[in-house]
Structure 1
Amino acid sequence: MFRFSPGELKRQLKRLGLKNVDIDTIDAEEVIVRRHDGKELVLTAPQVLIVKMPGGAIMMQVTAQYVEEREAGTEEPSPAFSEDDVKLVAEQTGVSLEEARHALEEAEGDIAAAIMLIEERKQAAEGS
């Protein structure tokens, strides 16, 4: 995923003439944007930077690899696994993060079961 470091953002803002800015990061699981049309955008595994501008204005920069659109108020239950679990399964099996996430969803968060599921699928694909 594209990551924008706070230091790089500060340099870019300085080039634009904004010198006295304070930049913080937030460790977030997801960011939800509620739109006026009754829909929500759900950004999963985001990087959130908060920029405190001179004069008191606040700017937020959010980058995320996964975005889902849904009707407002239809929150889905939190998965029984973390992004670290997804990365672990992907690293152990050599599959994409998305494929690892799907396997973990099918395995209801059980890392070992997700890895076995992926390996079984690989063997079945090789045999066909």
Structure 2
Amino acid sequence: MFPGMGGRGINPKQLEKQMKALGIDIEEIEDVKEVIIRTGSKEIVFKDAQVSIMNARGMKTYQLVGTPEERALEKEIPEEDITLVATQTNVSRDVAKQALKESKGDLAEAIMKLSENK
């Protein structure tokens, strides 16, 4: 409840009028298909997102409502690491890359694993 409302529900028209008086505009973004928040280790995906923008005197704030789905991101393996493992173990780049994926990027573990299999 907002102070001064006397326990009654908020009249949307009054609220909109008060916000306009304060220089605050709210706009809904129509036809949003998907919103993705990507961090270093995961993606948070909203397929049913409703997004609105609150513009308060030039400062824009985005509000997101929806059901999140988290996905782990596959770690990128540097080309230099693939080349090093392939050279050290005398295997193809594809085999070296797979070994690095399985060892979560650990060069020594990938090289040892491939060297043991020979």
TM-score, normalising length: structure 1 = 0.39
TM-score using structure 2 length? 0.42
Structure label with greater radius of gyration: 2
